[in-house]
């Protein structure tokens, strides 16, 4: 976990409709200085996109997001994902995530969910949907209640508010699609994505 996420402040969370777009997208993100990418399992070609990035871009760390079932865990690992992210947690999903031995970040928003995640040994959690769940104020209030728990908020973050989240002591990194939205990927706007990603790469670095 530490080896993959050290010095990471921003993770692009991308939805890829065509596997052929995966490598050009990855190259644009790498040129901008973002070496991690989370490919959501929301399209029929998402697993193929993960495989393409894992095979052709060895300098990029590709993970799978929107992991919802134990079967998703298995398929993502077989596709070449190097980390897994879920928007929530269940007993079966947590068991599968822990058993696969890949770095796994389950989602938790409420105090009960955070306590359950902590009981399973997790100290880094996805906070989704971040803005709809109270944003920075919610995370600020959770900090003294759950020392030692860090979050990766996603959902509603953008170029204008991501830095506010990164200022919080219990936020390790943020995730979002603002630098690589699905319509820009579909249009092949690699230059535009690279420009936005370059700005994102500077967030949280002084």
pLDDT value at residue 204 = 79
- Its pTM stands at 0.96
- Asked if the structure places residue 1 within a domain, the reply is no
Q: How many domains does the chain have?
A: 1
| Tokens matching residue 160 | 């204008």
Cα distances from 115 to residues 3, 10, 48, 133, 172, in angstroms, run 25, 25, 35, 17, 18
Q: Is 196 a catalytic residue?
A: no
- Asked if the structure places residue 177 within a domain, the reply is yes
Phi-psi label, residue 147: left if phi above 0, alpha if psi -120 to 50, beta otherwise: beta
CATH number of 189's domain = 3.20.20.70
* Average pLDDT over all residues of the chain: 96
- Asked if the structure places residue 2 within a domain, the reply is no
- Asked if the structure places residue 206 within a domain, the reply is no
Q: Is 101 a catalytic residue?
A: no
- Asked if the structure places residue 13 within a domain, the reply is yes
The DSSP letter of residue 31 is: H
- Asked if the structure places residue 78 within a domain, the reply is yes
pLDDT value at residue 7 = 87
- Asked if the structure places residue 109 within a domain, the reply is yes
The residue from 38, 101, 195, 196 that is catalytic is 38
196: β partners: none
pLDDT, one tens digit per residue, over 59-114 is 999 999 999 999 999 999 999 999 999 999 999 999 999 999 899 999 999 999 99
Cis preceding-peptide flag for 129 (omega within 30 of 0): yes
- Asked if the structure places residue 47 within a domain, the reply is yes
Q: Give the helix, strand, coil percentages of the chain, each rounded to 5.
A: 45, 15, 40
Domain that holds residue 101: 7-201
The residue from 126, 167, 194, 195 that is catalytic is 126
């Amino acid at each position: 976990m530490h080896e993959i996420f050290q010095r990471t402040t921003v993770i692009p969370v991308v939805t890829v409709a065509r596997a052929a777009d995966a490598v050009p997208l990855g190259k644009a993100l790498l040129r901008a200085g973002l070496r991690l990418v989370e490919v959501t399992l929301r399209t029929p070609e998402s697993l193929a996109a993960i495989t393409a990035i894992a095979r052709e871009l060895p300098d990029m760390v590709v993970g799978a997001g929107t992991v919802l079932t134990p079967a998703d865990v298995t398929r993502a690992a077989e596709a070449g994902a190097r980390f897994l992210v879920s928007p929530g947690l269940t007993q079966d999903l947590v068991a599968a995530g822990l058993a696969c031995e890949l770095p796994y970040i389950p989602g938790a928003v409420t105090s009960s969910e955070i306590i359950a995640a902590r009981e399973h040994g997790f100290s880094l959690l996805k906070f989704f949907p971040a803005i709809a769940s109270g944003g920075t104020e919610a995370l600020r209030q959770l900090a003294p209640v759950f020392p030692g728990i860090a979050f990766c908020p996603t959902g509603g973050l953008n170029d204008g508010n991501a830095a506010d989240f990164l200022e919080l002591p219990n936020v390790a990194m943020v995730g979002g699609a603002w630098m690589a939205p699905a319509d820009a990927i579909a249009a092949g706007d690699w230059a535009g994505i690279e420009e936005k990603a370059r700005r994102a790469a500077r967030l949280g670095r002084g």
